[in-house]
Each structure stands twice: as C-alpha cells, then as structure tokens.
Structure 1
Amino acid sequence: MTVTTVSYQRRRPTRARVGSVMRGVGIAVVTLLFVFPLLWMLSAAFKSSLQIIDPSYTIRFTPTLTNFETVFRVQAFGQYIVNSFIVAVGSTLIALLLGVPAAYGIARYRIKQATTFVLMARVIPGVSLLVPWYFLFSQLRIVGTYGVLILTHIFVTMPLVIAIMSGFFEGLPEEIEESAMIDGCSRLTAFLRITLPLSVPGIATSTILSFIFSWNNFLFALVLSNRNSRTLPVAIANFTSYASVDWGGLMAAAVVITLPVMIIALFAQRYVVAGLTSGATKG
C-alpha cells in the first residue's frame, strides 16, 4: 500500500465528519429560522404590551395570563373557535364527499382537462369573487350564516382534494379493481370496498390540508360573516385599532389560532407525507 493511498484513506473519515457537521449546522439554521417566530409569539403571549416592545424583557420576564383572560373573557373567543370549527369541518366534509368521487373519475377515465379546469379555481383571486357572491347572498338574505361560509370555503378545499386524490388514484393499480369486477363486483362496489380503503393516506392528507386551509381563511369570512358567525382569523382584528395595537392580546389570540393547526400537523405529518408522495411514482 502506497503512502498516497494511506493518506487518502485517512482523509475520507475527516471529510465525512466535516460533511456531517455542515449538514447538521444547515439543518439547525433552517430549523431556527422557522421555530424562532413561533417561540417569540409564544413568549409574547405571556407578556404585557410594554414588555413586548422593551428589549430588556426579551428573555427575563414574569409570565402573566392577562392576555388569555382578555382573549376568552373580554373578546369571547370561545364562540369564534366554535364558528371556525363548524365552518372548517363542514367545508372539509363536503369537499371530500364531492371531491373524492370526482378525483376517481378523473383518474380512471384520464380526463386531464378536468384537473386543469379545477385547479384554475386555485389561481383565480378570491377577492374577484367576493362582490358577486355578496350581491347574490345578500339578495337571498343569507349573509352571515354558516352555510354561506361553508359554501365559499368549498371553493378553496375542493380543488385541493381533487388535485391530491386524482394523483393518488392514478398511482393505484387499476388491475385490482378489474379483478374485483371479474369476481362479480360493480365498479361502484369495487371503488367502495377496494379502492377507497387503499386510499386512506390520500384521504387523510386531503382532510388535514383542507381543514387547515379553511381554518386559516380570512378574506371570505371578513366579508360574508357577521358578529355571530365570525371566525378566528377575522376576530383577531379586534385587537387592532386606528390608534393602537394590543400586542399582548394579539399574540395570545395568535397562539389560540395556531395551536390546533400545529397539533394536527404534528400528529398527522406521516399521513401528509405519504399522501403527497403516493402519486409521484407508478408501477
């Protein structure tokens, strides 16, 4: 063995360690960039408004629950949480009931133009629809009801469901359904008993993402809701006024809005990854 070979073999572990360290540093930096705003929001929720804008209280401060008392007692955020939950669950369930069969038909009959047409709904700015929607719903005298909010949120959730599920169904072998139909099943029975159980990861992904998109929607609820049906993203504006901003209450309200979404994302991340990558490979 030559001296050059020995030297090269000694350098290889060193380069591997350096690469591993650099990779770890990169991951730590990216994680810090994403986590720091959340940590700052969480700490600010337990500070007074003066402590939030004072740099000397960045780390050392006495936690207070006054902001959360303002959120739930003064601003009555409990009702807004119920409103957001009703709208998000309702729009998600309807989008699944209509979107999953539509995605199956698009995938099995290879109607690519339909997918493009449905995804156009994600491109159209929502603000361009608010004026005709408000005029129509006001004529029907249903502005401010849960039904209006659920109906408009379907415009956001259904294209998402169809886009995810059509790719998922395309990744499932069609021979499985053909075997079931040879055994006497109709196409509907094969879909319900064979294809639908196999598509649980995709359905879970569609459900989670649709719920999150509906939960965070601000524009539609801002125009089409009233005091009784107001959702959380709209209610958070109660902490801002022309003259001042209640930063403590605003951060506490932001925690209330963000916490359910973070919990759902934390426990369901493996379904999201499985569902989004299932249609990437076929065969």
Structure 2
Amino acid sequence: MILVFGQTGQVAQELQRLVPDAAFLGRNRVDLRDPGAAAEAIREAKPEAVINAAAYTAVDKAEEEEALAQVVNGDAPAAMAEACRDLGIPFVHISTDYVFDGSGEAPFKPTDPTAPLGAYGRTKLAGEEAIRAAGGPFANLRTSWVFSAHGGNFVKTMLRLSESRDRLTIVADQIGGPTPAKAIAEACLTMAQVLQRAPEKSGVYHFSGSPDVSWAGFAQEIFARTGRDVTVEDIPTADFPTPAKRPLNSRLDCSDLAVFGLKRPDWKAELNEVLTELGAV
C-alpha cells in the first residue's frame, strides 16, 4: 500500500485516479502544521512507500507567513522522511524550481547551487535538505508550472479570463516547462517502485514538461487549441510586480530521469487531454 499526503491538490487528485487503492491523507485527517502527526500516520499505516503531494503553495502569502510555510514545507517533510527511514521505505517528495534564483538561460541541473528568491523557495529547500539528511531512500522531485483539470492553475485561469476579455497582457520573460500533474503523479509512482528495489538511486531529480516556453507562449497555445480569439500582449516581469519574486529562468535539466526510465513529458499533448476534460475543445 502506498500512503499519499494530499487529497485535493492537482497531483494528489491524479494519484487517486492512478492508484485508487492507495491511502490518501488530506488536511482533515493529518494537518501538516503538526509534523509529529504526519510521522505518526506513517508509522501506523506501515506502507510500502510514501509520496508527499501536499505543501504550502501560496507563493506570495508565504512572504508574510514564512514561519507557517516552514512548518508545512520544511518540518513536516523532515518528520515524514525520518519515519520512512525508520521503516526502511522510500519517500518521494515533490519540490519546486523556486529553489533556484532563475539567473541565466541554461537549464538548471539538480547539482547546481540553490539560491531561493523568496520564502516559498526557502521553505521548500529546507524540506529537501532535511529529507536528504534523514538518510533513508528518497527522491526530491523538483517540478514547475503544474497544470491539470483540477484546482487552480494557469490553464484554468486563462480559460476563465478569455470568457470576458479579448486582450491579455502576459509575462514573456519568464521561461520554463509547463508540467502536467498526471505526468508528475506517474513519475512519483515509478520512482517509489524503483527505490524499493534500488535505494541507491536516491537523490534530487528534475521533472518538467517539454518544450520550454514563456507564460505568454503558453497562453497563446491554450487559446490556439481552444479557438479563442484572444490577443496576447507580451510584458516583462517588471510590469507585473508581485510580493514574491519569480525566477526568470525556470528551465530544468531533466536528463537524470533516465535512471528511472523516465523522460520529460510533452506538455502540448497533455494539454489537449486537460482541455478536453474541461470541455474547452
């Protein structure tokens, strides 16, 4: 049995489709503001593997609530990893491109120096480091720009805005790989299975959709696929200030995925599935 932290998030919902017989712990059952409760849930369940698909993801709000974000993104995963180590089972944790500063144009490798720009990235990095330090079999899976038919995400926001507007200004100098939540869920399951028999493959991995694109380019693709007559005006990040700084370069080098038999998903192909599920095409 696989134990999953998270229930309503994008990846958690895709995991429920893929492994409906897994145990899913939403915040109504385990509040990650109590790391001890998360560890105890693992010890009681004695699963074959644990996937953490839950996190504090309010990037801007984290600037004001860093202490809370630290507990959920740093302390809780640390407690989970220690419990998994004690049971000798794999722990797969979803992390983020926000652990980098977004400098340059080259894709970031898992071994590149980290330098988060804000509270969200700092707390996610703290979780990664604690998981590594726990010493059990693990995978920190950094991903970016997650989208699906569930929850809040860029695709659904663009569809909603296009209902009432025929012109949108979208940031064009942030570049990254849109990543389907379904593909992330599949990757997490594969990693958990491989780590059961090959714990030496533990480490940090990158997983993002291909090809890399700007937010403006992503929006244009969404509107083209859905036949919506919306003009996208490119703007720089400087013209769209937010409380938390966003990395300009979110490109991720995903070549290490080969050790799990994985490769970058084609987000354009997956986008069609999501738009179909949303009834937008």
Give the TM-score of the pair, scaled to structure 2.
0.23
Higher relative contact order (CA 8 A, sep 6+): 1
Give the TM-score of the pair, scaled to structure 1.
0.23
Larger radius of gyration: 1
Per residue, is there more strand in 1 or in 2? 2
